[in-house]
Chains A and B, each alone.
Chain A
Amino acid sequence: MTATTERPATADHRAAPARTRIPAAGLTVAAVLAVVTATWLTRPGAAPGIPMPGAVVEYGLPVVRVVLDLAATAALGLSLLPKLLGFDDPDRTEPVAARARHWAVAFSLVWCAAALLSAVLGAAEIMPGGAPDVAAYVDGIGSGQGMIVSASCALASAAVGMLAVRFGEKVPAELRVLVAGFGLLPLPVTGHASNWYWHDLSMVSMELHVIGACAWLGGLVALGVLLPRDRDLLAPTLPRFSRLATYALLVVGLSGLFNGLVELALSPGETLPGSLVTTRYGWLVIAKAVLTGVIALLGANIRWRLLPAIARREPTAFAAWAALEVTVMGLAFGVAVALTRTPVA
């Protein structure tokens, strides 16, 4: 039985690798495109007489940051997948779960490498015109330490994932999700953090934002890439993800709005309703809000138009809609990276 389910899965995997990778490719291209555009729009003008970092650093750092975020998201989503698939029917879910475990390790390794590279680029950014002193950067600046902590967590996630590759689902999925989730926590620290009265609240809100967004996008990518045409698996799995996505939409939307407005409200020299339009930070906040709205609509389409048919195991255009939603999410991620680097005023 196992052998018979294994063979079609691998054959399918080999027959149509190009089509299953459309969501992943759309996501990456959209994210990189968005971050490069947003960085170009919001880049600071040159200060006369001051050495500035070169274009490689100016654009390379945000791009590496997007790669880091996407790899971490994929690692989290793939670790989450066994929870979405459920454990009732191991014969059917095992081939998909095995591929998920394998790719979770690969993405953890990419994540770790991107975190280390962005520590080096971050050092180069603040020490233009010379060899970057990564040691001083990490030693002295919080975001450098955050990158190193995240890289260590990514490595730990790869190690646990490797155990899972070797021993299968006996390594609990919860453990993998926890380790990968913990590696996401240092990332908000590397962005803006306001030092106001409610500092702790705004940090919690930002952590929730990052974790919610990563679980949401990661889960959808895992579903969209690994089982878009397996109707028998999709039928029980998608409702579980749909519930997760609803919570994620609420958490991500509210915390994102809260953080963006707080950051704008507390910035000296700007008043709130106006600074949404006049500052570049405000533009990006608006762009993200619009993208969130579009994603919510696309999600609602999958949930209310496609889900009933999927539950009846009928053929649907789920793969295409998921790819579209994932691409829009990629745009949001790219804008998010630019947002963490844009001066508020």
Chain B
Amino acid sequence: MSRVLARLASPALALLVWPVLALLAVTLVATPASAHNVLVSSDPKDGAVLDDLPRTVTLTFDQAVRADFARIAVTGPDGAHYEHGDVTVEGGNISIAVRPPAAPGKAFTVPAGSYAVGYRIVSNDGHPVTGTLRFTLPTGYVNTEVVAVETVDPKPGTGLSSAAGGQGGGGWVWGLLIFTAALLALSALVLFRHDRRVANAAPGHSAAGEAG
């Protein structure tokens, strides 16, 4: 056995081990085609000057966006939230409806000024991608057609997708975490006790056993 291992350890073969390991990793571990999403365009464009509020804000990324965890917020110059309902995701496009924060049917003065579109998605490689776009309304106006937006969604317009409810899937992860933590504590204890035993034993005794 040890002779086989010694042969394995010859430098030429040892050099081969790493590429083989790497190939193994690609086939075993690598997830298919996951990468960082990048924002490529938007509607309205960043810095656009508009006559009135857009009905929706759409952000286009270079590749498909994960539907869970995607968020968009539209903040007006008055600090109020102008987005409404849930984020919808279609491939690389994510969009959200925009509506003045008033009860349907009531007139609302849409203020002039700069509106910020903040977004945060979780990229396909698991990293969050955050950014801000702006558009400007040079003149405010009184919005009377709120009724036209017929959505009767009772949710306040936070733009949160309801993704976080992961109670169903992934229960095994918690079991694994607890099991691993217990194992970790046990290993640390064993190592510690072994240390003490070696320290208490006659010096050189265990080393002589190991060297042979």
Contacts and interface: CB of A to CB of B under 8 A. Distances in A.
A83 interface: yes
A191 B129 CA distance: 13
A112 B180 CA distance: 9
Interface residues of B, number: 78
A128 to B, nearest CB: 8
B21 A182 contact: yes
A193 B131 contact: no
Contacts of A159: 187
B173 A50 contact: no
B150 interface: no
A152 B191 CA distance: 18
B21 A204 contact: no
Contacts of B131: 44, 47
Contacts of B122: 126, 141
B35 A50 contact: no
B169 A135 contact: yes
Nearest to B40: A268
Interface stretch (A164-172, A293-301, A305-313): A164-172
Contacts of B17: 178
Nearest to A4: B204
Contact of B164 (A49, A127, A139, A344): A127
A122 interface: yes
A116 B81 contact: no
B127 interface: yes
B48 to A, nearest CB: 17
Interface string A199-232: 1100110011001100000000000000000000
A2 B211 contact: yes
Given A47-B118, A204-B23, A172 B33 contact: no
A50 B118 contact: yes
B164 A211 contact: no
Contacts of B170: 135-136, 138-140
B29 interface: yes
A48 B124 CA distance: 23
A189 B31 contact: yes
Contacts of B194: 165-166
A2 B38 contact: no
B118 A10 contact: no
Contacts of A7: 203-204
B130 A44 contact: yes
A54 interface: no
B75 interface: yes
Given A138-B170, A174-B9, A203-B26, A343 B187 contact: no
Interface in A136-184: 136, 138-146, 148-149, 151-152, 155, 158-159, 162, 165-170, 172, 174, 178, 181-182
B130 A50 contact: yes
B26 A343 contact: no
Interface string A60-95: 000000000000000000000001000000110011
A137 B125 CA distance: 12
A2 B208 contact: yes
A47 B211 contact: no
A123 to B, nearest CB: 10
A48 B180 contact: no
A320 interface: no
Interface in A95-113: 95, 98, 102, 105-106, 109, 112-113
A138 B173 contact: yes
Nearest to A206: B22
Interface string B129-168: 1111000000000000000000000000001000010100
A274 interface: no
Contact of A48 (B18, B40, B69, B132): B132
Interface of B: 2, 5, 8-9, 15, 17-19, 21-26, 28-31, 33-36, 38-40, 62-63, 68-69, 71-75, 81, 83, 116, 118-120, 122, 124-132, 159, 164, 166, 169-174, 176-177, 180-181, 183-184, 187-188, 190-191, 194-195, 203-204, 207-211
7 contacts: A91-B211, A112-B184, A113-B184, A134-B173, A143-B126, A152-B180, A344-B38
Given A126-B69, A136-B170, 20 more contacts: A91-B211, A109-B184, A109-B188, A112-B180, A125-B128, A126-B122, A133-B164, A135-B166, A143-B126, A146-B29, A155-B187, A162-B187, A162-B191, A182-B25, A186-B25, A193-B31, A193-B33, A195-B63, A207-B22, A341-B127
Interface of A: 2-3, 6-7, 10, 44-50, 52, 83, 90-91, 94-95, 98, 102, 105-106, 109, 112-113, 116, 119, 122, 125-127, 130, 133-136, 138-146, 148-149, 151-152, 155, 158-159, 162, 165-170, 172, 174, 178, 181-182, 185-186, 189-195, 199-200, 203-204, 207-208, 211-212, 247, 267-269, 341, 343-345
